[in-house]
A and B are shown apart, each in its own frame.
Chain A
Amino acid sequence: MGEKKLMKGNEALAEGAVRAGCRFFAGYPITPQNEVPEYMSWRLPEVGGAFIQAESEVSAINMIYGAAGTGTRCMTSSSSPGISLKQEGLSYCAGADLPLLIANMMRGGPGLGNIAGCQGDYWQATRGGGHGDYRLYVVAPNSVNELANLPRKCYEVAFKYRIPSMILADGTIGQMMEPVEYKEEPIDVSKLEKPEWAIGVNHEHRAKRRITSYDLTEGGLEIMVNDRIKRYKAIEENEVMFEEKMTEDADMIVVAFGTPSRVATAAIKMLREKGIKAGLFRPITLWPFPYKQIQALAKRVKKFVSVETSMGQMVEDVRLALNGTAETHLYCKVGAAVLTAEEVAAALEEIHNGSTKYAAVK
């Protein structure tokens, strides 16, 4: 469909969300995601949508809480410290079963950290982040093109299962420019049906509706949460996405997402030139995590390496997937340091040769 357009990740994400039907955005500036609100500020009015620069991240996520309650496709975005500020609101949205899109262009942390790309928010994203029993549908693109096309999938899953969805990308993906090709025509929002739970719409001839994260009747909350857990199980069953590269003949599998998955691909190609058969497993959904798919690989492959730009966060999910059936190793860089293909290749070679420097994580 059309020619490939050179786009910055953040702008490609914003355009992708608009094409996927987003008509309300609220956010507060923070590097390295500022191009998202900047783009939305002129783009949304063009399509009859609304953009608000809120007075804070807390305010922005609570505007999303309201907008999502009307069944409108809405979005907020931020980077690590700003995402932390949004956690209370996100927990309320999850508790009220609201579909929405939130993007985190991760930077170095904790605290103020720095503005370079990093993956230290993996635990926060995949374990909920806010209080209470809940999940987010979390996807992790590794290219501008994938980032551009993911909002559509996020809204589909979010509305089908009534769950907030999150795009978790490192700042590098947001800042880089690559060719983009939108796979599908823009959604005509006038043809989207308003959900049967949405408030502020279809007032006539219907019972009152309520958007809430609580039920104070005896046993009410238990019923609410259990109903949600059923939907989480369905998501785990139906919505896992992943990519495998060069795994067919591999005797060592690198597990990586986002930018590190690309650095790892370069490293794997270097190793293959030396005759070392490594392969790449890339989770695209971080929740639901592709546990079964990694388990299946472990029938044949006995060495797995999690490559991350965090202190060893995703490696815990790899260990859960393998459950002792294969070695789990870790190679990581922290503090938003740049991961190079040369150093990843050197570490992978040592691990392949049985060096104890990157000993198996137990």
Chain B
Amino acid sequence: MYQGIRIAGFGGQGVISAGVLIAQAGIIDGKEVSFFPAYGAEMRGGTANCSVVVSDEEVTTPIVSRPDTVIVMNEPSLAKFEPMVKPGGVLIINTSLVNSKPTRTDVRIVNVPCNDIADNEIGNPKTLNMVMLGAFAKATGAITLESVKAALPKVYKKLAKKPEVLALNEKAFLAGANAVK
């Protein structure tokens, strides 16, 4: 199994955090992983993206140029990252913020209104990236709810003492998964 992922969106959407969580979940599942963020003058409201690899074998290139899965969280990221998806790969689109339609016909398109689910169904906009992770898990099978649950307190040490926040994240994850048809 080899899963190369690119996640892209606005700074503040939890794009980088989601990438770290996928990598940590991969370690928990006994996989080889790497995570690489776009770094530098990143800021809330600017653009952010990262590369993640989860694999049974050694990870070669950490900057994923031909992703198996692309997650697009905002409008400008669609044009930039849609062409990169491997033929036969998965393109997950946050339809709450992306109005343009993808043009690729050789990839699986997964539409998820992530912001609407986080804001309305969960009632907490901060859970946006957990909705996205749930959709990613359902669409690809690369990570599981169990591994993400175990990853959360490892990445965010303070969460270990906040079961109510963990429960909220789990709820958002499951809502994202359920949104994938």
Whether B34 is near chain A, meaning CB under 8 Å from some CB there, is yes
The answer to whether A179 touches B65, judged by C-beta atoms less than 8 angstroms apart, is no
Provide the bound-state CA to CA distance between A4 and B36, in Å.
Answer: 18
Chain A residues near B65 (CB, 8 Å)?
338, 340-342
Whether B60 is near chain A, meaning CB under 8 Å from some CB there, is yes
Shortest Cβ gap from A264 to chain B (Å): 8
Picked from B23, B24, B61, B154, the residue with its CB within 8 Å of the CB of A340 is B61
The answer to whether B20 touches A6, judged by C-beta atoms less than 8 angstroms apart, is yes
Given contacts A115-B40, A342-B65, contact A177 B20 (CB under 8 A): yes
Q: Mark B124-153, 1 if CB is under 8 A from A, else 0.
A: 000000000000000000000000000000
Provide the bound-state CA to CA distance between A32 and B65, in Å.
Answer: 21
The answer to whether A177 touches B63, judged by C-beta atoms less than 8 angstroms apart, is no
The answer to whether A259 touches B24, judged by C-beta atoms less than 8 angstroms apart, is no
Interface of B is mostly: mixed
Q: Mark A1-33, 1 if CB is under 8 A from B, else 0.
A: 000101000000000000000000000000110
Given contacts A175-B37, A177-B34, A178-B35, contact A6 B61 (CB under 8 A): no
**A269 nearest in chain B by CB position:** B60
Whether B171 is near chain A, meaning CB under 8 Å from some CB there, is no
Shortest Cβ gap from A331 to chain B (Å): 15
Could you tell me how many residues of chain B have their Cβ less than 8 Å away from some Cβ of chain A?
22
Q: Which of A31, A172, A178, A265 has the most CB of B within 10 A?
A: A178
| 14 A-B pairs whose Cβ atoms sit less than 8 Å apart in the complex | A6-B27, A6-B154, A31-B39, A172-B36, A172-B62, A176-B37, A177-B36, A178-B33, A178-B35, A178-B59, A263-B60, A340-B66, A341-B65, A341-B66
Whether A266 is near chain B, meaning CB under 8 Å from some CB there, is yes
Whether A262 is near chain B, meaning CB under 8 Å from some CB there, is yes
Chain A residues near B32 (CB, 8 Å)?
179
Could you tell me how many residues of chain A have their Cβ less than 8 Å away from some Cβ of chain B?
21
Chain B residues near A341 (CB, 8 Å)?
60-61, 65-66
Provide the bound-state CA to CA distance between A6 and B65, in Å.
Answer: 22
Q: Which residues of B contact A (CB under 8 A)?
A: 20, 23-24, 27, 32-37, 39-40, 58-63, 65-66, 154-155
Q: Mark A196-225, 1 if CB is under 8 A from B, else 0.
A: 000000000000000000000000000000
Q: Which of B35, B62, B155 has the most CB of A within 10 A?
A: B62
Can you add 10 more A-B contacts, CB < 8 Å, to A263-B60, A342-B66? Answer: A4-B27, A6-B35, A32-B39, A176-B37, A177-B35, A178-B33, A179-B33, A262-B60, A340-B63, A341-B60
Shortest Cβ gap from A105 to chain B (Å): 11
Chain B residues near A263 (CB, 8 Å)?
60-61
Provide the bound-state CA to CA distance between A147 and B33, in Å.
Answer: 16
Chain A residues near B24 (CB, 8 Å)?
6
**B35 nearest in chain A by CB position:** A177
Shortest Cβ gap from A341 to chain B (Å): 5
Shortest Cβ gap from A180 to chain B (Å): 10
Shortest Cβ gap from B56 to chain A (Å): 14
Chain A residues near B20 (CB, 8 Å)?
6, 177
The answer to whether B39 touches A177, judged by C-beta atoms less than 8 angstroms apart, is no
Given contacts A6-B33, A31-B39, A177-B20, contact A172 B27 (CB under 8 A): no
Chain A residues near B23 (CB, 8 Å)?
6, 177-178
**B30 nearest in chain A by CB position:** A4
Shortest Cβ gap from A342 to chain B (Å): 6
**B62 nearest in chain A by CB position:** A176
The answer to whether A262 touches B62, judged by C-beta atoms less than 8 angstroms apart, is yes
Shortest Cβ gap from B58 to chain A (Å): 8
The answer to whether B59 touches A175, judged by C-beta atoms less than 8 angstroms apart, is no
Picked from A31, A259, A342, the residue with its CB within 8 Å of the CB of B62 is A259
Provide the bound-state CA to CA distance between A265 and B59, in Å.
Answer: 10
Chain B residues near A338 (CB, 8 Å)?
63, 65
Shortest Cβ gap from B113 to chain A (Å): 30
**A259 nearest in chain B by CB position:** B62
Picked from A178, A265, A342, the residue with its CB within 8 Å of the CB of B34 is A178
Q: Kindly list the 4 A-B residue pairs having the minimum CB-CB distance in the complex, ordered from nearest.
A: A266-B60, A340-B65, A177-B35, A176-B36
Q: Mark A311-355, 1 if CB is under 8 A from B, else 0.
A: 000000000000000000000000000101110000000000000
Provide the bound-state CA to CA distance between A86 and B21, in Å.
Answer: 38
The answer to whether A115 touches B39, judged by C-beta atoms less than 8 angstroms apart, is yes
Provide the bound-state CA to CA distance between A342 and B27, in Å.
Answer: 27
